[in-house]
Amino acid sequence: MSPLEFYEITEEKLNQLATIYEIENLEEYYELTDYNIKMPTSNYKDLSQVFAQLAFHGQNGAQIGNTVNFNANIVALDNELCKFNPGEFLKAYNLTEINKGNKEDNQIRIEDASETLSQRLCEALHREDAKQLLPRYAKTLLYSAIYVHSFNNKQDIIEDLKKNYLKENYKDAKKLIDYFREQIPAGFGVALACDFLKEFDKSFDLPKPDTHLKNTLNAIGINCEEEYEYINEMKNLTENINKSLKDEEKLTVYKFDRMIYLVCSQNFFLDKKDRNSIKKIYW
């Protein structure tokens, strides 16, 4: 199967699903969805918005997403995380000056703070059964706030990340992802790091190498040992597809990745639809 044939099949399947689910506007799925007015993250500004985005994407690890349920529990999270103001949040846990301490002392302080925060989250989310899961998310929140609070504004964070994006070899995003995960060393694997970065700014035109994408590429004969390789393969596929498309039809990696996700998951998350009954009809 050629890259263009793969794209055409994906587009056909997606259009069929859109008709079945009565989706009126697929185009809004191809824009950065963190900033869509239907998403809670769109209600925050500047550094608070970045912290909210990290909190949202950081919950999407195995089992954590169902526990935190960011969108449904946004009021409780907004209250518990100081309206996502990173400075106020760190102040509440006596971590405002964390970067000025030594590494070992910082680690101890973060560990102590994460225990307190995880317990508060259990209570705020009414999930006392999640005491084994929430400490990891608590660390994600603390490290995220520390990173965000070290900048004056959102654009400074974008520029910091862009410094680590290999423009001379745009197909290699490893340096960027590794740098991001060094700054927030809890909760973000490669796939979740990509998930945040691709939604954060259009400068980072990345796919999310999750199960949907990997299984799909495997099915058409593209097998990789590492998640980074799937990122490069998606960039190569998109580049080859674009050779056959008119300028106004050309794809971004973001768009093609989203098309594959929607076909595989049937999760039209911007449109509240009951998927269960329709799925039986489609398949």
Which tens digit of pLDDT belongs to each residue from 69-105? 999 999 999 999 999 999 999 999 999 888 666 788 8
Mean pLDDT over all residues of the chain?
A: 92
Q: Given CA atoms 85, 91, 93, 97 in this order, what sign does their dihedral have?
A: positive
Task: List, as own/partner pairs, every contact residues 220-228 make where C-beta atoms lie below 8 angstroms and the sequence separation is at least 24, other chains included.
Answer: 220/1, 220/6, 221/1, 227/189, 227/190, 227/191, 228/172, 228/173, 228/174, 228/177, 228/190
Helix (H, G, I), strand (E, B) or coil at 272: coil
Could you tell me how many residues make up the chain? 283
Weakest mean pLDDT among 69-78, 121-130, 139-148 = 121-130
Average pLDDT (206-215) is 96
Whether the per-residue pLDDT at 241 is higher than 70: the answer is yes
pLDDT of 280 reads: 42
Q: Given CA atoms 40, 43, 46, 47 in this order, what sign does their dihedral have?
A: negative
pLDDT of 248 reads: 95
Ramachandran region, residue 213 (left: φ > 0; alpha: ψ -120 to 50; beta: rest): alpha
pLDDT of 276 reads: 56
Weakest mean pLDDT among 44-53, 104-113, 137-146, 167-176 = 167-176
CB neighbours of 143 closer than 8 A, spacing ≥ 6? Answer: 110, 183, 184, 185, 186, 187
Average pLDDT (101-121) is 91
Whether the per-residue pLDDT at 129 is higher than 70: the answer is yes
Distance from C-alpha of 176 to C-alpha of 202, rounded to nearest angstrom = 14
